[in-house]
Amino acid sequence: MERITRHPIVSPPAERREVSFAFDGGTFSGFEGEAISSALAAAGVVAFSRHRKGDAPQGIFCANGQCSQCTVVVNGIAKKACVTPLCAGMDVRSLSGLPSLPADDGRFAGAEKRSLAADVLVIGGGPSGLSAAAELARLGLSVILADDKADLGGKLVLQTHKFFGSEEDCYAGTRGVDIARKLEAELRAMPNVTILANSPVVGIYKDRRAGIFLDYGHYALVDFSALVIATGAREKSVLFPGNDLPGVYGAGAFQTLVNRDLVKAARRVLIVGSGNVGLIAAYHALQAGIEVAGIVEILGKVNGYKVHADKIVRMGVPIHLGTSVVSVEGRGRVERVTVAKVDEAFRPLLETARTYEVDTVLVATGLAPCDEFYRQARDFGFLAVTAGDAEEIAEASSAMFGGRIAALSLAKLLGKKVEIDSGWLAKREVLKSRPGDRIPREAVEAGESWKPVFFCEEEIPCNPCTTVCPTKSIKLKPRKGSIMDLPYFEGKDCRGCAACVAACPGLAVSLVRRIDESWTEVLLPYEFLADFEPGVRLPLLDMDGNFLEEAELLKKTFYRKHKTWALAFKVSAANAPRAIGVRVQPAGATEPLPTASFEYLPDEAIVCRCERVTVGEIVAFVKENAVRDVNQLKSIRVGMGACGSKTCSVLLPQVLRKAGLDPAAVEPGSLRPLNMEVPMGALVNEGGFPADRGSAAASTRSEP
């Protein structure tokens, strides 16, 4: 792997201190404070440990502290590499099997009790949590917001694309990374808000207290009157042989490495899932200089926004519908993936199998709400509300409104005389809407003056082009009476400023102007490194990714506010109104091997990643032991691993159905007292203070 030193949207931090560390006896370098996992990935390390069962290699999967795939031994202590910051002189080693308990020769030196208090504890600093905390603070309530990351914003921090929605209400047309900064700056300016970054909430208790792992080094208790659960969602795994090989990433892990830490996490990737997450991950890969072999979707239609899919296809990435992964194979890491068409029951048709040489498989097959704390709070009788993905999986634009609405709902329960604006409720419903109807566009004929051409045919919540037009000549044609309506050009006053071209999140607007009877000037959006000069000829494509012609570049203009290029081409009059994209990726990047090569063993798919329990093992145990309670599966170690069943619990229903059970008739598994691992030393607050977090000395404290 390697570092990304040039990117069209994000830049490396201006000042980063490079430090040396040891890994398995070798000398490596990374940047102080970055996750150990990112430093190792940048050095080409994909296998972080070896599982005690079968000596199977383990690689990073979530990069979010949710699973245990990236566990390494740091200065003698087992730690998750994705949430442990790198510091100079660290001795990092692969974990082989189970970690050893460190020697404890020191005498107990006493404990320090640490406690905090606030009216409301907000768990999670993503878009909904930040919005909820700000709304509560404006009402005069004291707020503690705790988040498990150093930078607030949740998934916004990983999103380098422009947002859909309303510019007025949720920063449409602005990139997620920039929205995160805006929301965090607003919250930090409020005196009655305490922000605990890099400090996950690990448990809530019946005495109305929450345990927080402060700075991943010290344990503290927080007294609260009410809770906002804005813990987001975790990505679902998927069942196929080889699903636990190093190089099989969750989409969030891939975006963390590529967009947050600027690590080129792959050479060639295949993406599973055509929802917005999978579609935009393909775009992020291309921007990072990574080839995308294709996107496979088991359903017969694209699951995300059509404008997202359209722009990916015209960049040169095919989307294979009605197709599923048969197997992923490789020696110690991903080397190839085989896919095949599926029948009506979603069973693979092996005669249609195709094998691709890739080093990464990106899983983007949906999200599961992280709502465990809400379920506990409800059982304990606490005042608590959910917000964002913890309440309902939707876009981040909806999550911002959801956070504000949740905050006002909670404030009413706390006795505040507030009313929820009915307009907020209506806007949120629109923002979380699934795509509506598809309305074909009428052909546009270029004239002597500039004219916009719109390539968005599907009703989605989006209006930036209408708000950035200086002459207000772009309006939504009333159909549903909301920002779901499609934009149209009304009038003759287009100045050719290309603001609509640069602001459109779907890159679905062009400008055309006739040069003469044979040629037309076309302005197209471009969000890649424009390392070419006027005079070059580039391949232009239509909305469906079909090649139109090689066109001469006349000029290029960079719109700094939107970090988007407008490229002006000389295009034939016949093709000009249809041109909307420039091919980014050569066709060879998407070609399969001449002959399919795979071993299909469906029962070998891993369900419980931590304990490496397969589909076949669970089905056999269920049938032999008349299982009626998920907790019975713990006898074969299902859900007993370090992640606390966060991954396998989502997969179990389909496995139970395969064993002939109705999942609704099976007693669910018990939640653990703590949501993540906390060293025993941290629980009693032995030694160490936040000032020395990350030092070589600090990493030896808080022993189990």
pLDDT digits (tens, 9 = 90+) for 421-438: 888 888 888 988 889 999
Average pLDDT over residues 446-474: 94
Residue 103: pLDDT over 80: no
- H-helix or E-strand spanning residue 397: helix 396-413
The Cα–Cα gap between 275 and 303 comes to: 4
Q: What pLDDT sits at residue 684?
A: 73
The Cα–Cα gap between 223 and 477 comes to: 52
Name the pLDDT band for 687 (thresholds 50, 70, 90): very low
Highest mean pLDDT (candidates 281-285, 478-482, 692-696): 281-285
Residue 704: pLDDT over 70: no
The Cα–Cα gap between 32 and 582 comes to: 39
The Cα–Cα gap between 347 and 339 comes to: 12
Which residues are registered as beta bridge partners of 526?
A: 565
Name the pLDDT band for 697 (thresholds 50, 70, 90): very low
The tokens describing 644, both together, are: 């606390």
Average pLDDT over residues 400-423: 92
Average pLDDT over residues 604-633: 93
Single pTM value for the model = 0.91
The helices-and-strands tally (H runs, E runs) of the chain is 15, 37
Question: In angstroms, how far is the first alpha carbon of the chain from the final one?
Answer: 33
pLDDT digits (tens, 9 = 90+) for 116-140: 999 999 999 999 999 999 999 999 9
What does residue 159 show for φ and ψ, rounded to 5 degrees? Answer: -105, 105
Among 385, 406, 334, which Cα is nearest to 135's? 406
Tell me which of 60-69, 322-331, 493-502, 669-678 is least confident.
669-678
HSE on the CB side for 339, CA within 13 Å?
Answer: 25
Average pLDDT over residues 206-222: 92
pLDDT digits (tens, 9 = 90+) for 523-549: 999 999 999 999 999 999 999 999 999
Q: What pLDDT sits at residue 217?
A: 82
DSSP state of 41: H
pLDDT digits (tens, 9 = 90+) for 138-175: 999 999 999 999 999 999 999 999 999 888 888 889 99
Among 283, 363, 342, which Cα is nearest to 317's? 283
Q: What pLDDT sits at residue 81?
A: 94
pLDDT digits (tens, 9 = 90+) for 10-24: 988 888 899 999 999
| Residue 65 CB contacts under 8 Å (≥ 6 apart), including other chains | 80, 82, 83, 148, 200, 676
pLDDT > 90 in the chain, percent? 78
Q: What pLDDT sits at residue 698?
A: 40
What does residue 408 show for φ and ψ, rounded to 5 degrees? Answer: -70, -35
pLDDT digits (tens, 9 = 90+) for 552-569: 999 999 999 999 999 999
Q: What pLDDT sits at residue 1?
A: 56
The tokens describing 418, both together, are: 């507030």
Residue 320: pLDDT over 80: yes
pLDDT mean across residues, the chain: 91
Is residue 652 within 8 Å of 676, Cβ to Cβ? no
